Amino acid sequence: MSNFTLHPRLEADCVFMRDLPLSQLRLNNVKTVPWLILVPRRPDVLEIHQLAATDRALLIEEIAQTSHALTELYAPDKINVAALGNIIPQLHVHVIARFATDAAWPGPVWGRVAAEPYAAGAAEEIRTKINKGWLWE
């Protein structure tokens, strides 16, 4: 979408993975837990209810596909999905693979996991795995 601009904080904190039909898929650059973020490419949308009905349905499908991808790649104990936006107002959805052994379990990851970025090349390896056709067909 031509008027779509990614919030600067999402640009700085995340690594581009791929474009989906509605959203830009990004990897949160925190290696502590596998954490993907969907950003619908619709300008000036802050909340899910502001999306057109067809886009809301597509977002749910993309959340399901992203959850499936994380499940296939990491076999987590739980998938967490959240659209908070308290700090970054642009609509974005967190899809996080959680493990009973992660540092924040069973609480939320915000402010409770180390913000250590991936090592050089690691995000590219994840992008390669994420982009395998079977995850998005």
* Burial grade of 26 (CB within 10 A; 0-12, 13-18, 19 or more): buried
* DSSP state at residue 118: P
In this structure, which amino acid lies at residue 111?
Answer: G
Q: What is the pLDDT of residue 132?
A: 79
Q: What is the pLDDT of residue 1?
A: 45
What is the token pair recorded at 70?
């994380």
In a domain, 3, yes or no: no
- The boundaries of the domain holding residue 50 are 8-135
Q: What is the pLDDT of residue 130?
A: 86
Number of domains in the chain: 1
Indicate the pTM of the whole model.
0.93
Q: Contact at 8 Å (CB) between 35 and 126?
A: no
Task: Write down how long the chain is.
Answer: 137
In a domain, 52, yes or no: yes
Q: What is the pLDDT of residue 64?
A: 95
Q: What is the pLDDT of residue 115?
A: 82
Q: What is the pLDDT of residues 37-96, one digit of tens each?
A: 999 999 999 999 999 999 999 999 999 999 999 999 999 999 999 999 888 999 999 999
Query: DSSP per residue over 2-35, as a string?
Result: TT----HHHHHHEEEEEE-SSEEEEEES-TTS-E
In a domain, 42, yes or no: yes
Rounded Cα gap, residues 98 and 79, in angstroms: 6
Q: What is the pLDDT of residues 2-38, one digit of tens each?
A: 589 999 999 999 999 999 999 999 999 999 999 999 9
CATH number, domain containing residue 117 = 3.30.428.10
